[in-house]
């Protein structure tokens, strides 16, 4: 069957894209953000992009493939959560500069999140930079927002369910492929942590810059899609 499908000029075997489901409210907010970004002429190189990422001892979260008809829209899978044998890390970058990667040993609450920001964000923060983080509860808690205000850190209002506009998602993808190259698995969390830290340090400035420069194209496509999911 695979041989027959391979011979079809309109079918390719490809991985499901992980995209969050979008409500009308999400779509409206995404479109408004994109249009505002065009209006104000955002300087994407002056934004510190941040995110959390989960790594498993036995490999990345499940990957599913399907036969895609090139004449139709590609399919997406919603994100899934997995338990046990995992590490959570917090990462950030701006322009061509990586910030220190922080391994979160325990579940993040507001106090632990502020500790992360103190260690990694604060040393790189300056007046000309703005900070991007999503709407996770620990990000928008009173404790966190109060700390950001006290430190005079300006954040950008980020629409929910918009990973396709965060260039750090692409960096996570590269990091994940490097960490699990050749199907590598890990015996314990220390071994996994060492490999993550090593591969993070090897990310090249030009890869960071390339993804930041892609923001204009992302915004244009988001507007063209009327706020819907993009290819990024």
Q: What is the DSSP string of 156-171?
A: ----SS-GGG-THHHH
Q: What is the pLDDT of residue 211?
A: 97
Which is higher by pLDDT, 48 or 20?
48
Q: What is the pLDDT of residue 71?
A: 54
Q: What is the pLDDT of residue 18?
A: 58
Average pLDDT of the chain is 87
Which helix (H) or strand (E) segment holds residue 14: the answer is strand 11-15
pLDDT at 60 over 90: no
Residues 199, 196, 129, 161: what is their CA dihedral angle, to the nearest 10 degrees?
Answer: 120
Q: What is the pLDDT of residue 64?
A: 44
- Average pLDDT score over residue span 115-131: 97
What is the reported pTM? 0.82
Contact 114/147 with Cβ under 8 angstroms?
Answer: yes
Task: Band the pLDDT of 46: cuts 50, 70, 90.
Answer: very high
- Average pLDDT score over residue span 71-76: 52
Q: What is the DSSP string of 52-114?
A: EEEEETT-SS---EEEEETTSPPPEE------SSEEEEEEEEETTEEPPPEEESS---HHHHH
pLDDT at 188 over 80: yes
pLDDT at 154 over 70: yes
Q: What is the pLDDT of residue 51?
A: 97
Q: In the block, which residue shows the tokens 């071994």? A: 191
């Amino acid at each position: 069957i695979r041989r027959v499908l391979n011979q079809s000029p309109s079918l390719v075997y490809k991985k499901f894209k992980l995209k969050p489901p979008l409500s009308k409210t999400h779509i409206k907010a995404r479109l408004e953000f994109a249009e505002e970004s065009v209006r104000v002429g955002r300087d994407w190189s002056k934004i510190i992009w941040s995110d959390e990422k989960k790594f498993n001892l036995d490999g990345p979260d499940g990957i599913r493939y399907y036969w895609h008809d090139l004449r139709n829209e590609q399919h997406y899978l919603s994100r899934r959560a997995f338990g046990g044998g995992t590490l959570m890390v917090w990462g950030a970058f701006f322009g061509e500069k990586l910030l220190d990667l922080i391994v979160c040993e325990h579940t993040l609450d507001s106090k632990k999140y502020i500790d992360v920001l103190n260690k990694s964000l604060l040393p790189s923060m300056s007046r000309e930079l703005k900070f991007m983080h999503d709407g996770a509860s620990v990000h928008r808690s009173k404790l966190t927002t109060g700390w950001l205000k006290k430190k005079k850190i300006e954040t950008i209002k980020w629409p929910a369910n918009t990973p396709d506009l965060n260039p750090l998602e692409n960096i996570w993808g590269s990091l994940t492929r490097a960490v699990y190259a050749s199907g590598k698995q890990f015996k314990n969390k220390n071994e996994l942590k060492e490999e993550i830290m090593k591969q993070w340090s090897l990310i090249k400035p030009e890869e960071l810059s390339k993804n930041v420069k892609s923001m204009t194209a992302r915004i244009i496509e988001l507007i063209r899609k009327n706020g819907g999911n993009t290819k990024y």
